[in-house]
Every structure is written in C-alpha cells, then in structure tokens.
A and B are shown apart, each in its own frame.
Chain A
Amino acid sequence: MGIQEWTYVMVGLTFALYIGIAVVTRVKTTAGFYVAGQGVGAVANGMATAADWMSAASFISMAGSIAFMGYDGAVYLMGWTGGYVLLALLLAPFLRKFGKYTVPDFVGDRYYSSTARVVAVVAAIFVSFTYVAGQMRGVGIVFSRFLGVSIEVGVTIGMVLVAFYAVLGGMKGVTYTQIAQYMVLIFAYLAPAIAIAFLLTNNPFPQAAIGEILPKLNQITVDLGLTHYARAFTELSMLNVLFITIALMVGTAGLPHVIVRFYTVRSVAAARWSAGWALLFIAILYTTAPTIAIFAKYVILRDLAGQPMAAVQAVPWVQNWTETGLIKLQDVNGNGIADAPELFGSKGPPEVTAAIDRDIIVLATPEIARLAPWLIALVAAGGLAAALSTASGLLIVISSAIAHDIYGQLVNPAADDRRRLLVGRITTTVAVVVAGYFGINPPGFVAEVVAFAFGLAAASFFPVIILGIFWKRATKQGAIAGMVTGLAFTVAVIAMIRAPQIFGAGAPVIKDFFGINAQGVGTVGMFLNFAVMWVVSLLTPPPPAEVQAMVEGIRYPRVMRPAGTFNPTHGQPGV
C-alpha cells in the first residue's frame, strides 16, 4: 500500500477514535459542557492541555522555522514553554479556587463590573477567533497535502468532526479527544526524530545525538556559505529575541483557551501539578523539534548541496514534495548545481528565495529517514490531531464567551441549566461554521495575526489577571483602563508596522517600535497595561469589601478569609 492509501487508513482510524470518544463522553449539564464537571485528573488534564497547546504550527512549522533561524529559533522554544511556569505559579491554583467557568467570569466578578466582563469577552473572542481560523486553515492544508483533496473539502471535514465532539461532549468531549490526539501526535512526531537520530549516529535519543551532529552542521553551514548554525542573533537582534520571547511567554499565560484548562481539574493542588504534567508532555515535543531541525538541515546540506541539479531533482523524496509545491528548485546562478543558498535561501546580496518550504523539515523527515509508509502516513494523522485539538479548545472558549458570559450572566441570568446548555451547543455550532468559513477564506493577515494573538493576550489579559489575584487594591476602573490601553496600543502599533500585510498599504507606517518588531510589541503593551492599572487604581475608590474578601479567599486552598464566611464554591454556577 502506498503512502496515500496508508494516509486514508491512519486518518480514518484516528477520526473514528475521536468520534467514539465523543459519543461516550456526551454531557447533560453546563458544568460538564464548560468545565468537564471539574473532575479531570492532573495527569489527564496535563495531557489534554499539551494537545490543546500544540497546534498545527507547533507540529508542522516550528522545526522548520528553527532550521532556518538557527539559535534564534529559541524564541519559539522558550517563548511557548516558559509561560507555563507563569501559569503554574501565578494563575492556575488561584483561578481554580475562584472556581467559575471562564476568564471573563473572573474579570467580571473580581472587578465587580459588567463593563469589564464585556471588554474581556471582546478580547477573548478576538484572540481566540484569529487563532482558530489559523487552525482550520492548517487542517485544510494538511488534508490537501496528504490526501489530495481541496482545502475547502479538508476544512469542511475538519469542521464537521470538531462540531460533532464539541457540541455533543463540550469541554468533557474535547478534553478526552485531546488526550487521544496527544498520543497520536507525539508518536507521529517522535518516531521520525528517533529514526533519523539513529540513522545518523546510532544513538536513538535525539536530544543526545545532536552532540555529534551539531558541530558537523556548524561546519557545513559555514563551508557552504550559509550563516553558522549555532551562532546567536544572526536573524534577530538580542533586543528582539528578548522582547519576542517575553511576549510569547507572557502571552501564553494570558491566553483564554489555556487558562480555562485549569478550571477543569478537581482541586487547587491538582491545578498546580497539572501544569507540570502539561509542560512535561509539551517538552517532549519541544525538545525534539530543534533536534529534527538540526538533523534535517544537516542531511539536506550533506546530500544535496553542491550536487548537480539534475541529480537532486531525481531524488525520490525531492520529487514527491516538488509535486506538492513545497520544493521549488531553481538554478539562480545558472551553474547547474544546487548550491546551499539556493536550497535554504540567502539574504544576499543577492537575495535568493529558498527552494525548500519550512514545512518540509517535519513533513519530509520521515521519508528522508527511510521510514515505513504507514509511519509516514501517521505524520498526517499527527498534524491533523494537533490542529483539531487546538481548534476544539478554542471553540469552547468562543462559545462559552457568548453563551455563558454574555447570555448566561448578563442577558438571561434566570435561565435554567437545560436552556443554558442548549444555548452553549448552538453557539458552538455557529462558531465552528464561522471558523470554518475563515479557514476557507482566510483574511490575508491570518498567519500574521495568530502570532500577534500572543502579544494581544500579553497586553490585555495577563496584567489584569495577575493584579486581580495579587493586589487587592486593583479597581474596576484600573482594569478597564489597563485592558483598553494595552489592547489599543498593541493593535495600533502592529497595524502600523504590518500595514502592507493587513491593509494592503504600500509601505509600513513605522518600521518597528524603537527596534522592537511587531512580534515583540506585546511586551511593551503589557508594561503599559500594568502602569495604567497601577495609576488608575490608586486614583479610584478601593474595591468593595466582599471583593477584597474574595481576593483573599482564593489564596488558601481549603478555607477562606480566616475570620470571614465568604466561600467561593468549587464551581457552582450562579453564586
């Protein structure tokens, strides 16, 4: 059986698994729908969180970006892991004690304000929708590359599947399918890495095998006229590496779909442990990605660079991927040879576009490592698992923002649980359809905005939640002013820097913000938010006594304010 037939089998089997789980986990209450009944164990929740976190971009594109960026790729590695420390230490246990269902819940209650709740809802929907459109697009692309169907068909299939288990099982269905998806994606990711490590060094542990290969890669990149692989700050300045890494880390801790995962565990202590398990499961992939980058780049340079063009084009895996358009070999300098700069690109002079698309690094490595066809096909299932798991987590956030935060808390608080559940299911369906539509017709800037979702989360949510937990004096006016400032500043600066991509302008309005590029601007927005919150809170009346008692109460896992009677119940709605 060829690779394509195996791909149908692998994808079909994994999809059947997700559907089966959806049927078994269908829910009957809003508690089940929004927070999985708050009964998920720490390890299971950690695994689901890891799958939720690792999107199509982590799975397919990250290793490729690192291969091209060398050391500076560490922005993604540290940026997308370091935030979990912030979550575990500063947010998760306190929000779990608070016990409600969503981030806007916390903002609305802590800042005793429907306005604050609505601002939070708007921010959450904006951040989550841009993120999810990117995921649906990723689903479409994996389908079209591996299964030969059009992107539209691919997105639609993905939509129907996600709708099925999200509507039926809500957060509970999503959680348990995410666990299955984690197992699929981690196996699909590790197998090629272990295989190629073994092939090159007889050491099956990729993280150790790089000790032998990295020096060779450093040497060969320099010999062939590319930048030294391990040297720092060749692609990004130190300032940018710093600001982007921080924006990604802090943004992680401000993303609604990640935070909400800590509402689903069964206790405060479980929230702390679950963050550890989540990062452990994430780290398995994230420490492997840079090794894949090193091995793949080394093999490609060793075997293809400097060879005659005709010989390179005849290599089987090169032929396969040229057909999908991910490899576009061009003899730029007309010497009949595939030079390294032609393969990986050069910033010039002269400027040369890379023949190799970054996504090749993960997608083609199994073939380069001569793995069996069924294992190669599993990579497709893995990429889909990654995209679907993230998409489903985001959709729950979007639907809960509308059905719970707006409808349930503001529009019709008297609604009973059955009606709330129905509204939740309807909004989830609508959200899937809208996300699918944007997946099929992405606004030109989708890829840009997904990265900026982090900057926006860093600038809007993170300061507001942190100060809400640790500073009793933070007031509603401070929070609203802070959120609005952080959001407005970050959106404005990003729009100005990326005017060509977003608005089709001729040139950017500003090139960067004092040397900080668009991906790092969120860090500046975050500092602004903190500053504004501090000043405005001190200028406005302190929060009411019950709110201050609530803030105190979330600090202790079991009891409340020692002399008081206020007790945020563990997740009971309507309290």
Chain B
Amino acid sequence: MTAPHTFDHERYWRRTITRILVLLAVWLLVGPVMSILFVEPLNRFSIGGVPFGFWMGQQGSIYVFVALIFVNAWLADRQDREFDVHETPETTRQVVGEH
C-alpha cells in the first residue's frame, strides 16, 4: 500500500472543480446556447455554404464535445503529475493475473 502522501488536497480539488466548470460552460455555450437558443440569429452567417446555427447544431457542437473531453483528459493528467497523485504501474495492476 502506498505510504501516506501529503499534498494540498483542497487546492487539488478546487483546481479540478474549476476545470470542470470552465469546460461545462463551453459545453453549455456550444450546445443549448448557440445551437438551440441562438440558432436562428446565428443562421444569418454561414460556414462553407451551410447556415452557421444549423451547422453548429448538426456538426460543430459534436466536434467541440470531442475536443472538450480530450482537453479535460490532458489537463487532468498534467494536474495529477503536478500534485504527484497520478497513477503508476504499481497502482494500476490488473485485478487478477489470470482472468
């Protein structure tokens, strides 16, 4: 079992929450706000021949969702290393050797 490890758990958790809230704000902006509430005004612009609001709802929002998840994973990895709480091969052993 790992020896007790001191790190500023409150600061870590605050960073986690901030990161989550910022990314969720983008999610909210791209999904409900741009693609639903403001789709009609946004349709006055177009992207590659497609009305922009329409494009956001049927294509663009999905691309942003994918990006958000990868950005989160990358930022979280960086944060884990910074606080030295990231997993190591010893702590991610498979449950049983032969399954």
- Interface, chain A (partner B; CB < 8 A): 27-29, 31-32, 35, 37-39, 66, 71, 73-74, 77-78, 81-82, 84-86, 88-90, 93, 172, 207-208, 210-212, 214-215, 230, 232-233, 238, 241-242, 245-246, 249, 266-269, 272-273, 275-276, 279-280, 283, 286-287, 290, 552, 555-559, 561-563, 565, 567, 570-572
Contact = CB atoms under 8 A, between A and B. Distances in A.
A269 B76 contact: yes
Interface string B38-74: 0110010000111101100111011101101110110
B62 A286 contact: yes
A558 B91 contact: yes
Contacts of A89: 20, 23-24, 68-69, 72
A77 B57 contact: yes
Interface of B: 1-2, 4-7, 9, 12-13, 16, 20, 23-24, 27, 31-32, 35-37, 39-40, 43, 48-51, 53-54, 57-59, 61-63, 65-66, 68-70, 72-73, 76-77, 80, 85-88, 91-96, 98-99
Give the 6 A-B residue pairs with the shortest CB-CB distance, closest first.
Answer: A211-B49, A32-B99, A74-B57, A37-B99, A211-B48, A272-B73
A283 B66 CA distance: 8
B92 to A, nearest CB: 4
Given A37-B96, A39-B95, A85-B69, 18 more contacts: A28-B98, A29-B99, A32-B96, A35-B95, A74-B58, A85-B27, A89-B68, A89-B72, A230-B50, A232-B43, A238-B37, A245-B36, A283-B63, A555-B12, A557-B87, A559-B2, A562-B4, A572-B95
B39 A232 contact: yes
A571 B53 CA distance: 45
A38 B20 contact: no
Contacts of A280: 66
The interface residues of chain A, by DSSP majority, are classed as helix
Contacts of A39: 94-95, 99
B73 A88 contact: yes
A210 B73 contact: no
Nearest to A32: B99
A473 B15 CA distance: 21
Contacts of B7: 559, 562
Contacts of A210: 49-50
Nearest to B42: A232
A276 B43 contact: no
B36 A276 contact: no
B87 A287 contact: no
A31 B58 contact: no
Given A82-B31, A214-B50, A567-B1, A77 B95 contact: no
Given A37-B94, A290-B58, A555 B69 contact: no
Nearest to B32: A242
Contact of B94 (A212, A266, A275, A558): A266
Nearest to B1: A567
Contacts of A90: 20
Contacts of B20: 89-90
A272 B52 CA distance: 30
21 contacts: A38-B95, A71-B54, A71-B57, A88-B69, A93-B76, A210-B49, A211-B48, A212-B49, A215-B49, A245-B32, A272-B69, A272-B77, A275-B69, A276-B66, A279-B65, A287-B58, A555-B13, A558-B85, A558-B91, A559-B85, A567-B1
